[in-house]
A and B are shown apart, each in its own frame.
Chain A
Amino acid sequence: MSPRTALSFDVLHVDAARETERIAAGIRDIVFNQLRRKGAVIGVSGGVDSTVVAFLCTRALGPKRVLLLFTPETDSAPESLRLGRIVAEYLGVRSVVEDISSILREARCYARRDECVRSVVPEYGEGYKCKIVLPNLIEAERYAIFSVVVQTPAGKTKKVRLSPEAYLGIVAATNFKQRTRKMIEYYYADLFQYAVAGTPNRLEYDQGFFVKNGDGAADFKPIAHLYKSQVYQLAAYLGVPEEIQSRSPTTDTYSLHQSQEEFYFSLPLEKMDLCLYGKNQGIAAVDLAPAVGLEPEQVERVYRMIEAKRKVAHYLRSSALLIAPVEAV
């Protein structure tokens, strides 16, 4: 078999038992020794990433030292809270529900967002739902231009390209959600002297799929080195409920269901995983293409997209920069 045909999704296979123990040991060291905290707070969305982090923290620190936090708001899918509660019950850990809708209303998160949507869809109003989407960037060489999709109360949908002001305004307003969640997580971290666990996987961490000082903020990020498909492998090994393993990844940020694919990655996550792996390993597009089911020029396009997103993510990952070093700290 030639090297070209040997490449497959198998390259992302991970020894789940060994990796679990490695991460658990790392969490213990970080939380107890490096950060000197008594446990961990995890915001759980009912998705596979935060659930795996909850399982790993429980394994590492013990159920008495783990707090799960559920922070639903007006636009959250109801199953997010239901699934989160299943996780807490399964693990035997404490959990708290904090509905953040009223905070968001007072911050005018929804009002600011809706004003921006109305600037491009004037009829948008009571009972409407919305999300923002990207076009498919894989099929042709084109720029990523966000559109808003609105759904009338009668269920009719309409897609309109966003103005820069509307796009920035919608994103800035909805980012209140992730930042409010983080604020609540740190409330409990302060209360119990816990550390906050971040839940990004490698794709999200690498490509900047997070809100700066929102879900991007944390004291430690135990699965940031794992490709999404490796997170699924750990989920299976750890016994994460099947319903969570099979749940389609969602941003759970907009009132209309929005997949991560249409919002950010433009490609199914397992293919995005392999493309990121290929780029990281320096694998030529022509060699990766058959494994991922794309044409070589499409893989080239994905490679360029990865590089472009990394540049933007640099700002998102940067902590406050100093003019001069402060040697004493």
Chain B
Amino acid sequence: MESNFIVQQLRSFIIENFLFDQDGNVKDEDSFLQGGILDSTGVLELVAFLEEKYGITVEEGELTPENLDSINNISVYLSRKMGRGQEEEGESAMGAVNPGGNK
């Protein structure tokens, strides 16, 4: 699955579920925590979405901001989980993913 496509899917999910289709301006590097976008229920919804959509299992130890706090962070996390870390790093340099976005 293309990294750009994943980012687009993530953005659509975030806008539909947490911004109520009202704000399409969420940036890929925007922190969900700092923006007050995700509460504890939102995290549950996000994890369920990732597990269902991408066929992964989000482990307890992976429930961290580093993995889930922005579209970019999730994208990097997904790439790693789906075993495409090396390949996606190349694409991220083209702007689809910014691993340092939340740091």
Contacts and interface: CB of A to CB of B under 8 A. Distances in A.
Contact of A146 (B36, B40, B45, B68): B40
B44 A145 contact: yes
Interface residues of A, number: 19
Given A143-B43, A143-B64, A164-B41, 4 more contacts: A135-B63, A145-B60, A145-B63, A167-B41
Interface in A129-147: 134-135, 140-146
A145 B64 contact: no
Contact of A144 (B36, B40, B61, B66): B40
Interface string A290-329: 0000000000000010001001100000000000000000
Main secondary structure of the interface of A (DSSP, over half): loop
Contacts of B68: 143
Interface in A56-84: none
A311 B41 contact: no
B82 interface: no
Main secondary structure of the interface of B (DSSP, over half): helix
Contacts of B45: 164
Of residues A134, A161, A162, A304, which shows the largest number of chain B Cβ atoms within 10 Å of its Cβ?
Answer: A161
B32 to A, nearest CB: 10
Contacts of B56: none
Of residues A140, A143, A145, A312, which shows the largest number of chain B Cβ atoms within 10 Å of its Cβ?
Answer: A143
B28 to A, nearest CB: 19
Interface residues of B, number: 18
Contact of A164 (B36, B48, B60, B63): B48
A168 interface: yes
B26 interface: no
Interface of B: 33, 36, 38-41, 43-45, 47-48, 60-61, 63-66, 68
A328 B98 CA distance: 55
A168 B64 contact: no
A300 to B, nearest CB: 12
A259 interface: no
A311 B36 contact: yes
A163 interface: yes
Contacts of B48: 163-164
A312 B39 contact: yes
Contacts of B60: 135, 145, 161
B40 A141 contact: no
A134 B39 CA distance: 13
Contacts of A308: 33, 36, 39
Contacts of A135: 60, 63
Contact of B64 (A142, A164, A167, A311): A142
A308 B65 CA distance: 14
A312 B40 CA distance: 9
Interface in A153-201: 161-164, 167-168
Nearest to B40: A144
A12 B63 CA distance: 34
B15 to A, nearest CB: 18
B64 A141 contact: yes
19 contacts: A141-B65, A141-B66, A142-B61, A142-B63, A143-B38, A143-B43, A143-B64, A143-B65, A144-B40, A145-B43, A145-B44, A145-B63, A146-B44, A161-B60, A163-B48, A167-B41, A167-B44, A168-B41, A304-B33
